[in-house]
Amino acid sequence: MSDTPPVIEIRNLHKAYGALEVIKGVDIAARKGDVVSLIGSSGSGKSTILRCANLLEDSQQGDILFKGEPVRWKGAGLNRHPADPRQVLRIRTNLSMVFQQFNLWAHLTILQNVMEAPVTVLGRDRHEAEGAARKYLHKVGIGDKCDVYPAQLSGGQQQRAAIARALCMEPEALLFDEPTSALDPELEQEVIRVIKDLATEGRTMMIVTHDMRMAADVSDHVVFLHQGLIEEQGPPDALFGRPKSERLQQFLSSTNPG
């Protein structure tokens, strides 16, 4: 095991919405080059964990560390918030998130969408950012769509543009929140191919997914969540091939990966 701290580490995470506790003490880590998939039924807390890791949601207890650096907090319980906005911005720009809905700016071309954040958030030179944006759009297979608007693309193309936008930030890790669930099956495959390519390159990724076949194919480590707790975790061949937990066995038989 490397002495280098994980890119993302979550320790004893608790998250509540008022009186409803949705994450009840979870530990997850993704080291450099790891692909960690979070699976589980709707409402098990998968997406909430990802949003807490990226500081889009405040957690009430536990530690979130980025490359060994803990997030600094002020307050406690439901009043706990990150103490340093500059730290939050730095961590968020290094953990690029790809959402279920593509969140592209309708009034900007695909090229402008991809280069916007590097220019406005990171202060990169516009010419340099444009070159990087074109490179990443080509990488995800839509280099010929630079000058069109999001409405002119299929859902799969829009999601690939969103992945190019995340890559253009040159992040330490990519966080995917159900990246294929809004897509038709044939368009889903376009996006899965891109994610597989990124996994092959050794990019650090944390993926919330309902697609068991993708989780089995791309992951180094799979975490099965049930009601806000980790029910079972391990390498994909063990979880999908020899599940120990009765709940995981039931979940896999209901998802029927085929």
What average pLDDT score do residues 19-33 get?
A: 95
Q: What is the pLDDT of residue 258?
A: 46
Q: How many CB atoms lie within 10 A of CB 154?
A: 14
Say what angle helices 126-139 and 110-120 make with each other, to 10 degrees. Answer: 130
Residue 1 CB contacts under 8 Å (≥ 6 apart), including other chains? none
Q: 146 vs 131, 150, 164, 218, CA distance in Å?
A: 11, 10, 11, 28
Confidence category of residue 2, pLDDT binned at 50, 70, 90: low
pLDDT tens for each residue of 240-257: 999 999 999 999 998 864
Confidence category of residue 145, pLDDT binned at 50, 70, 90: very high
What average pLDDT score do residues 43-68 get?
A: 95
% of residues, the chain, pLDDT over 90: 87
Token look-up 């009765």 returns 246
Sketch out the chain's domains with CATH numbers: 8-255 (3.40.50.300)
Residue 127 CB contacts under 8 Å (≥ 6 apart), including other chains? none
- Report the candidate in 6, 8, 3, 1 with the shortest Cα–Cα distance to residue 176: 8
What average pLDDT score do residues 150-174 get?
A: 95
For 154, phi then psi, to 5°, come to -70, 165
What average pLDDT score do residues 89-96 get?
A: 92
Confidence category of residue 34, pLDDT binned at 50, 70, 90: very high
pLDDT exceeds 80 at position 1: no
Structural tokens at position 250: 């039931």
Structural tokens at position 234: 């391990």
Cα distance between residue 218 and residue 199, in whole Å: 6
